[in-house]
Amino acid sequence: MRATVKHRNQRGDLMSSKESERPVKGTVLYELWRFAFIANKSSPHPLDWRRFYHFIGFAHGRRSGLSASEVQARLRDYGFDERHAVDLAWAYWHGRCALHVRGSGFLSRSHTSWMKRGGTSWT
């Protein structure tokens, strides 16, 4: 088993080696990692939100299949507590839905096809 090594990120927060494993630059997972690596994990700053919304737009533009539950799990891996990871995962899902809704042809399609992808417990 690999030992967990602690080091400090750009904000000075201690992070484990698991948190700092960098995905390939230019990927959706890299944008999520970048957000998490820099973000204030206890109270996101407006610049943190800007990076998070950039991640959502990037994921949408790349047609990522990343679900809200996968985002939540990765945020937990990257050091966010459960409450913040859940809140951000919901924001991700709602952001992706909003971007989908504004796309062409939305009104001619059933909502169930796009809601089931990251869906909610009530769908």
6-25 residue pLDDT tens: 545 555 555 555 555 789 99
Question: What pLDDT is recorded for position 100?
Answer: 81
Place of tokens 């062409």: 104
Residue-wise over 45-77: b if at least 16 C-beta within 10 A, else e?
A: eeebeebbeebbebbbeeebebbbebbbebbbe
Helix axes 68-77, 82-101, angle to 10 degrees: 150
Q: Record the pTM.
A: 0.69
Residues near 9 by Cβ (< 8 Å), separated by ≥ 6? 15, 20, 37, 38
User: Can you give the residue ranges of every domain in the chain?
Assistant: 19-105
**34-55 confidence digits (pLDDT tens):** 999 999 999 889 999 999 999 9
**Which of 18-32, 64-78, 107-121 holds the top average pLDDT?**
64-78
